Amino acid sequence: MAKITEKENLQKGIEKAGEKLGLIDAVVKEKKESEQAKTSKKQKLVNFYLSEEKEKEYRKIFGAGGISLSQGIRMSLDYTATLLKSGKLVLSDYGLHENLLEKL
């Protein structure tokens, strides 16, 4: 009996590791695509509004990691898009949500 439980736990661990590796692979792929896009001469300025408090908060958070607010926002957008494409996140009228079907 104990061996079956250990084998099942090992199998579950392998499956979880595989999922994480798949996500890492997707992030690396997105990063490569992002770097290729940076070499493109065409860029577009995107404007949006933030409260002063949120701007200061985000600048502090990203600055603690040694990156600019602009770079942090781009990285966050790339990461969110990767999660949406992989099905880990779902976009609805109410916002971004973890895809609960992935956990079944």
Type of residue numbered 83: L
Tally of domains in the chain:
1
Given a contact cutoff of 8 angstroms between Cβ atoms, the answer to whether 50 and 40 are in contact is no
Residue 18 in any domain: the answer is yes
86 within some domain: yes
Inside any domain, residue 85: yes
Please check whether residue 45 lies inside any domain of the structure: no
Residue 42 maps to a domain: no
Query: Which residues contact residue 91 at a Cβ distance below 8 angstroms, ignoring those fewer than 6 apart?
Result: 84, 97
Q: What pTM was estimated for this model as a whole?
A: 0.57
Residue 68: pLDDT band (50, 70, 90) is very high
31-63 pLDDT, tens digit per residue, is 777 776 666 677 889 999 999 999 999 999 999
Residue 72 domain flag? yes
Overall residue count recorded for the chain in this entry? 104
Does 63 map to a domain?
yes
Can you tell me the distance from the alpha carbon of 83 to that of 43, in angstroms, rounded to the nearest whole number?
A: 24
